Chain A
Amino acid sequence: MIRLLTLLSLLCLGANTAIAADSSAKPDGARLYAQRCSACHGTDGSGGVGVPLALPAFLSGVDDAYLRNTVRLGRPGRVMPAFTKLSDAEVDAIVTHIRSWPGQNRPETLSQERIAGNVARGKTLYKDHCASCHGANGEGGHGTGVTLSRPRNAPILAPALNNPGFLAAASDALIKTTLMQGREGTPMLSFLKQGLKERDINDIVAYVRAFEQLPSPPSARVLESESPVMVRESPYTIERTVEKVRAAVGAANMRLIRVQTLDQGFVEESKENHQQIIVYSCDFNFLNEALKVDPRVGLFLPCRITVVQQAGKVLVMSINPKRLSRIFNNAELNEMCEQMHQVYLNILEEVVL
Chain B
Amino acid sequence: MSGIRLLALLFLLGLNHVAASEELLMSRIARPFPEAMSNLQDIIRAKGYVVSRVQRVDVGLTASGFKTAEYRIVFFGKPSEIHDLSVAHPELIPYIPLTIVVFAEGDDTLILTTDPLKLGEFFNKPDLLKRFDVWERDVRAIFDEVTHTP
- Please list the residues of chain A having a beta carbon within 8 angstroms of any beta carbon in chain B: 1-2, 5-6, 8-9, 11-13, 15-16, 19, 34-35, 38-40, 42-43, 48-49, 81, 84-85, 146, 148-149, 228-229, 231, 257, 262-267, 273, 276, 278, 282, 284-285, 287-288, 291, 295-296, 298-299, 301-302, 304, 306, 308, 310, 315, 317-319, 323, 326-329
CB-nearest residue of chain A to B67: A149
* Top-6 shortest CB links A-B: A12-B14, A265-B52, A228-B122, A284-B64, A5-B7, A39-B26
Complex contact B55–A299 (CB within 8 A) = no
- Contact with B90, one of A298, A315, A327 (Cβ below 8 angstroms): A315
Does B34 sit at the interface, judged by CB under 8 A?
no
In the complex, chain B residues whose CB is within 8 Å of the CB of A323: 122
- Contact with B23, one of A81, A263, A285, A298 (Cβ below 8 angstroms): A81
Does B71 sit at the interface, judged by CB under 8 A?
yes
- Contact with A39, one of B8, B27, B93, B122 (Cβ below 8 angstroms): B27
Does B105 sit at the interface, judged by CB under 8 A?
yes
CB-nearest residue of chain A to B7: A5
Complex contact B14–A15 (CB within 8 A) = yes
In the complex, chain A residues whose CB is within 8 Å of the CB of B53: 264-265
In the complex, chain A residues whose CB is within 8 Å of the CB of B129: none
Complex contact B67–A16 (CB within 8 A) = no
Complex contact A263–B79 (CB within 8 A) = yes
In the complex, chain A residues whose CB is within 8 Å of the CB of B61: 284, 287-288, 291
15 contacts between A and B (CB under 8 A): A5-B4, A38-B28, A39-B110, A43-B30, A257-B60, A266-B77, A266-B97, A273-B83, A284-B61, A284-B64, A296-B24, A301-B101, A308-B86, A317-B94, A319-B94
Knowing A146-B105, A301-B55, the reply to whether A265 touches B75 (Cβ < 8 A) is yes
Digitize B75-103: 1 where CB-to-A-CB distance is under 8 Å, 0 elsewhere.
10101001100110011011111010101
Does B39 sit at the interface, judged by CB under 8 A?
no
In the complex, chain A residues whose CB is within 8 Å of the CB of B26: 39-40, 296
In the complex, chain B residues whose CB is within 8 Å of the CB of A295: 71, 103, 110
Binding site secondary structure of chain B = mixed
Does B57 sit at the interface, judged by CB under 8 A?
yes
Knowing A12-B14, A13-B14, the reply to whether A1 touches B77 (Cβ < 8 A) is no
Does B73 sit at the interface, judged by CB under 8 A?
yes
A-B contact count (CB 8 A): 164
Residues of chain B in range 99-150 having any CB-CB distance to chain A below 8 Å: 99, 101, 103, 105, 108, 110, 112-114, 118, 122-123, 147
CA distance A59 to B58 in the complex (A): 36
Knowing A19-B17, A34-B147, A43-B28, the reply to whether A266 touches B50 (Cβ < 8 A) is yes
Output the residue of B24, B93, B101, B147 with the most chain A CB within 10 A.
B93
- Contact with B91, one of A146, A149, A229, A291 (Cβ below 8 angstroms): A229
Does B35 sit at the interface, judged by CB under 8 A?
no
Knowing A9-B11, A149-B67, A304-B94, the reply to whether A265 touches B23 (Cβ < 8 A) is no
CA distance A263 to B75 in the complex (A): 11
Question: Which interface class (under 10, 10 to 19, 20 to 34, 35 or more) fits B?
Answer: 35 or more
Complex contact B10–A13 (CB within 8 A) = yes
CB-nearest residue of chain B to A83: B22
CB-nearest residue of chain A to B10: A9
In the complex, chain B residues whose CB is within 8 Å of the CB of A40: 26
In the complex, chain B residues whose CB is within 8 Å of the CB of A49: 105, 110
Complex contact B17–A266 (CB within 8 A) = no
In the complex, chain B residues whose CB is within 8 Å of the CB of A298: 57, 71, 73, 101, 103
Complex contact A296–B95 (CB within 8 A) = no
CA distance A13 to B17 in the complex (A): 12
Complex contact B112–A299 (CB within 8 A) = yes
CA distance A308 to B88 in the complex (A): 12
Distance to closest chain A CB from B100 (angstroms): 9
Knowing A85-B20, A298-B101, the reply to whether A39 touches B90 (Cβ < 8 A) is no
Distance to closest chain B CB from A324 (angstroms): 8
Knowing A5-B7, A9-B10, A262-B86, the reply to whether A39 touches B112 (Cβ < 8 A) is yes
Knowing A85-B22, A308-B90, the reply to whether A263 touches B82 (Cβ < 8 A) is yes
Complex contact B122–A306 (CB within 8 A) = no
Knowing A6-B7, A262-B96, A299-B99, the reply to whether A291 touches B90 (Cβ < 8 A) is no
In the complex, chain A residues whose CB is within 8 Å of the CB of B71: 148, 291, 295, 298
Complex contact B86–A266 (CB within 8 A) = no
In the complex, chain B residues whose CB is within 8 Å of the CB of A267: 79
